[in-house]
Amino acid sequence: MRIFGIMAGLMLAAGPATADEVWSTDLGDIIYEAEEAGAAILSFGGFDGYRGTLVLPGLAGNYEQRGVHHGYWIGTSGVDCGAALTGPTGNASRAWGQAVVAFDGPAFPTSFTVSLGDCFGPLNRSIRAVAR
């Protein structure tokens, strides 16, 4: 019984599970999939109908002090950066670019806007994500 109580306490102290974070957008859901090497890994629906991945270093485990987070996106799309980037799951793609996520509030759950650019280009489009 003591072990069960310790495990239950650890689960409560760990914060929200990543699968609990889902945001709705006009392009489909954005889902907090995993955490790896201090980065949050989110999947999202792209503008051209393909799914992509957002990688946000420093966001992993941060449920109380969210603000503006810089990272990158990688996916399958009509974008061709001329060089492949390898994503967190080992998949390589020539479709990638910078991503900036700006949360509405500091604590989970909160909505956000993600701005995206292609390759090394400027941010040129955005997706509004509403917490569910």
Domain assignments of the chain as residue spans, ordered by start: 2-131
CB 110 within 8 A of CB 68: no
Beta strand pairing status for 112-117 and 95-103? antiparallel
d(CA 46, CA 75): 8
pLDDT at position 51, please?
86
At residue 4, does pLDDT exceed 60?
A: no
At residue 117, does pLDDT exceed 50?
A: yes
Higher pLDDT pick, 47 / 83:
83
Average pLDDT over residues 104-128: 96
pLDDT at position 91, please?
87
At residue 18, does pLDDT exceed 80?
A: no
CB 52 within 8 A of CB 44: yes
Higher pLDDT pick, 117 / 8:
117
Higher pLDDT pick, 75 / 2:
75
Average pLDDT over residues 14-33: 80
pLDDT at position 19, please?
56
pLDDT band of residue 5 (cuts 50, 70, 90) is: very low
Give the mean pLDDT of the chain. 86
Average pLDDT over residues 24-36: 95
Q: In this structure, what token pair is assigned to residue 58?
A: 């420093």
What is the Cα 117 distance to its own chain's centre?
A: 15
At residue 17, does pLDDT exceed 60?
A: no
Q: Is 38 helix (H, G, I), strand (E, B) or coil?
A: coil
